[in-house]
Structure 1
């Protein structure tokens, strides 16, 4: 679901030196590895920023980012002990881990809103979610197994007019009575560039698809036996996201482009602007609890929706999929602009 060309992921060890003003940073840094779930992009910006601007180093960490991509499954590397942390797509993956006895746990949710959207042609006169029903809908295989089941159970959608989405916008562009799935941070930009019009955007999160997204996962043994290490990684990542959104994010963007040479400054700028506009990272509970916030009530609410939709089993212990131990501490709140 990205407009950038795909490339083989790189594994690069990155150590940022602490600034002279922060001499209290440990001389010896703890080495940890963090795997993303896709090629480097603005949606990963806070993590790259924390490496590039020295935030991880100031928290005593030497972080190696292992970029994801097509045919790369960093989540398996996490479970097998070859990675220390992983960037999980959404809460459904956390529920799935419990269902399959995978020994991982979510420790922070960097996105309060899932960026999943539908794009429609302006001529289709779509103004709300229900307006999508009569249109041809291009939905990916993963989408059919997840959010589309929720659309069926909560809004009465059906599969009659659904066609496979293969991450090619051409079928959508050719049919003005169609809508295409995408991420609010990327696909609208690609459509504008390719077709010269601004698509109508319907964000699923605004209609109750309230999964957390871009969660930090770690192994249960690490969370239980090295809580200080996990806390420092979570806190530094949170600060990295504040710096990326509200500070000078040029270091983070430069590192993203090093990992992904196909990334452009224009798309990076667009994606950051959309993350701010839609409150993807910083909204809701984060306004008082800080970026990364999670709550039991919201996890329970989303779990119930997914059970009703038949996406997850009702008998799994969803509370075992996450922990609030490392979040909701107000870390980084002072870095949000006052106005």
Structure 2
């Protein structure tokens, strides 16, 4: 082989190398804003990031923390983020106002909202002589459901200021709670307490959904689909080995300790939050459940009857999900 031929071969190899190493296309940027500071309830998204599942799906994912001063829906509609961790009532109310928000998948098969009670209370129906501490927003979400189901009255309620001392001090008090948060704090204080999940008694909404704008849905459907699929794979892996996701959770939220995270994961397993009682694929939603939520809201006067509830969600992206816990 001549020197010229060798030189041409070397140049061709050098030019081809970067082309072979480069991905087929640049990764699509996609930001997801959670509902609170990083915690176990967000673990699957951090796990997908830690394992590189988003990158493998062609996505440059940016998982952002929410918080008490963050208006997620406002940021979504302003185009500041591509997707947010949402709530069925929130999206149905947005549709009522003509806003283009759409739920494309869920994280949890149930809203994890519940009530924490002292040890003498045996269920959600056992609160007629109790003081119930709830936030102001709860009067337009779960409280009308509790009143209709159990005959409770507004006179029983007092403001919950996210301080557990009133509950600890009053043995006749119950309060709103999430299974991984307030019960953990009660345990740490050595206060015996029960937690009752409202969904177990029929409260219909999904929990911690993925919400996008209709524009994103129409212009970037493949990116939305890839993000959902990678996220649900992340949740599957997180529930098997949460260590990679936990490292990112603690980096994002240094106040989140190992004991709190472990408690949260245990509660997600105990409640079958991700796959429901029937072991559905992670992320799945049904029209029937959305109809049940619409029926409740309309019946409670929280939504106008003429609102087209079908606009609040689509099952287009969850029909082929295959990530399961078993």
Q: TM-score, normalised by structure 1?
A: 0.87
CA contact (8 A) 1:276 1:282 kept: no
SS state at 1:108 partner: strand
CA contact (8 A) 1:257 1:264 kept: yes
CA contact (8 A) 1:121 1:200 kept: yes
SS state at 1:271 partner: helix
Partner in structure 1 of residue 298 of structure 2: 307
Counterpart CA distance in 1 for 2:39 and 2:290 is: 27
Structure 2 residue 107 is matched with structure 1 residue 113 = no
- Taking the TM superposition and a 5 Å limit, the aligned residue runs for 1:166-181 are 166-181=161-176
Number of residue pairs matched by the alignment:
306
The Cα of 1:65 is off from its aligned counterpart by 1.7
CA contact (8 A) 1:25 1:59 kept: no
Counterpart CA distance in 2 for 1:328 and 1:134 is: 45
Counterpart CA distance in 1 for 2:26 and 2:94 is: 34
CA contact (8 A) 1:25 1:58 kept: no
The Cα of 1:161 is off from its aligned counterpart by 1.7
From the CA coordinates, give the structure whose radius of gyration is larger. 2
Structure 2 residue 220 is matched with structure 1 residue 226 = yes
Partner in structure 1 of residue 45 of structure 2: 47
- Taking the TM superposition and a 5 Å limit, the aligned residue runs for 1:147-226 are 147-194=142-189, 196-226=190-220
The Cα of 1:303 is off from its aligned counterpart by 1.0
The Cα of 1:24 is off from its aligned counterpart by 11
The Cα of 1:227 is off from its aligned counterpart by 1.2
Superposed structure 1 runs of 4+ greater than 3 Å apart = 23-27
SS state at 1:176 partner: coil
CA contact (8 A) 2:229 2:321 kept: no
Structure 2 residue 82 is matched with structure 1 residue 104 = no
CA contact (8 A) 2:88 2:206 kept: yes
The Cα of 1:155 is off from its aligned counterpart by 2.2
Partner in structure 2 of residue 76 of structure 1: 74
Structure 2 residue 271 is matched with structure 1 residue 278 = yes
Partner in structure 2 of residue 261 of structure 1: 254
Q: Among 98, 113, 136, which residue is 1:141 paired with? A: 136
* Cα distance, 1:177–1:97 mapped onto 2, change above 3 Å: same
The Cα of 1:328 is off from its aligned counterpart by 2.8
Counterpart CA distance in 2 for 1:231 and 1:330 is: 10
Q: TM-score, normalised by structure 2?
A: 0.90
Aligned-pair Cα RMSD in Å: 1.6
